[in-house]
Amino acid sequence: MSDLLRTKIERMWKWRYLAFTAAVATLLLAHAPGTRAGCGEPNKDGSGPVLSWMHSQGRGNPNEPTTIVGLWHLKYTAADGSAFLESFKTWHGDGTEFENAFLPPSGNNVCYGVWKQVGHLTYKLHHVGLMFKPDGNLGGTFTVDEVNTVAIDDQTYKGTFDFKLFDVSGNLLQEVKGTTAGTRINVN
């Protein structure tokens, strides 16, 4: 398969994921008062699955430089202290990011972003997404902006997030701010 064809197929799937994710999030917002949006519906009870295998993780390669690039288990906490979302997040060395929220697969709980390093061990991330109404028409857009700092041990990071939901005219409908906490997943 040619690189051009592969790139076109990857872009097509990326936009299909974003569109479906946004449509499901819109349905959840429209039919569940108090639900927050973001790559789908966040955890309502504040607890994700027990990931006992993560607690035996090793340091990884101590000879590698400290960086955000890699696979992480991430927890988002809203400013009021409630759980907002939990996910697996992959930061790629090319400045793109992929996230799979701990939500039912039927919600197509995947989103994408772009990032850049803004300071020593500090990184800024930006997500952009479309939200669709149940009838398939565009209902709005959302953004998620994060600033995260990796710990010197290269195994955790902490930061802040700002989720914003806009209508089709660009008017802000909802905003949720809070903190992020990531734990690296290593190869043993």
- Report pLDDT digits (tens) over 34-91: 333 445 445 445 555 655 545 545 555 566 678 999 999 999 999 999 999 899 999 9
**Could you tell me the residue range of the domain that residue 53 belongs to?**
3-184
Picking from 114, 108, 127, 113, the residue whose alpha carbon sits closest to that of residue 25 is: 108
**Hey, which residues does 164 pair with through a beta bridge?**
143, 175
pLDDT at residue 32, rounded to an integer: 38
The residue with greater pLDDT, 31 or 2, is 2
Name the domain count of the chain: 1
| Residue 1's pLDDT band (cuts 50, 70, 90) | low
- The predicted model scores a pTM of 0.68
| Residue 29's pLDDT band (cuts 50, 70, 90) | very low
pLDDT at residue 145, rounded to an integer: 97
Give the span between the Cα atoms of 169 and 46, in whole angstroms. 33
Q: Which of 67-71, 128-132, 171-175, 178-182 has the lowest mean pLDDT?
A: 128-132
Stretch 114-129: mean pLDDT: 94
The CA–CA distances, whole Å, from 141 to 8, 65, 127, 134, 173 equal: 24, 36, 11, 15, 10
The residue with greater pLDDT, 32 or 151, is 151
Average pLDDT score over the chain: 76
Stretch 143-162: mean pLDDT: 96
pLDDT at residue 183, rounded to an integer: 97
